[in-house]
Amino acid sequence: MQRFCQVVLIVSAVLGSWLGMQAVHESGHVIAAWLSGGRVNRVVLYPLTISRTDLVENPHPLLVVWAGPLGGCLLPLLAWGIVALFRQPWVYLPRFFAGFCLIANGAYIAVGAFGLIGDAGEMLRHGSPLWSLLVFGIVAISVGLGLWHRQGSHFGLGPARGTVNPIAAYSCFAVLLALIALGLIVDGE
C-alpha cells in the first residue's frame, strides 16, 4: 500500500503540475489581455493538447505574450509563499508545483526562442531581444531546480523508501481530477 500511495502522489503531482502550469500560464495571458483592452476569444485547456489563448483584439501583444510565462511563474510562487507563511505541513506540494512551473515556463521560452516557437516566437516578432528570453529561461529554470532541491523524501524517494503521506497522495489525485474537469469545461474547441 505504501508504494501505491507513492505512485499516486508522484504521478498526480507531475500530471497535475502540467495541467496547473498551463492554467496559470494562460491566466497570465487572459489577465493581461483584459487589463490592456484586449478581447479573449477562447482559452483552450483541453488535457490532451497544449494550452493556448486566442484573442480577437490585442492592442498590446508584447505585454500579453510576456504575461503568460511571467504569471505562470509568479502566481505559483505566490501560492507557495502563502502556504509557507502559514507553515502548513503540505508546503512541499505548492513548492513542487512552483518549481515545475518555473522550469516549464523557463524551458518553453528559452528553447522556443531558437525555433521561434509559440510565445517565444511572438516575443521576438514583437521586439523582445533574444537575450531577454534566454535570461528569463536560465533564471526561471535555476530557481525552479532550487525549489525542487532536497524535496525527494516528501515523495517517498531516497531514505523515505516509498513512505508518503496518503492524504497528500489522494489530495493530489483529487486536484488532478479537478484540473482535468476544468480543461474539459474550459476547452473552446
pLDDT tens track for 133-153: 999 999 999 999 999 999 999
pLDDT at 57 exceeding the cut of 90: yes
Average pLDDT over residues 32-59: 95
Q: Which grid cell is 36? A: 490592456
CA-based max dimension of the chain: 54
The mean per-residue pLDDT over the stretch 114-132 comes to 95
Q: What cell was used for 42? A: 477562447
Cα distances (Å, whole numbers) of residue 156 to 14, 24, 140, 159: 14, 27, 26, 8
Q: 25, 51 in Cβ contact below 8 A? A: yes
**pLDDT value of residue 187:** 65
Domain that holds residue 64: 2-186
Res 72: pLDDT? 98
Number of domains into which the chain is organized = 1
- Global pTM? 0.94
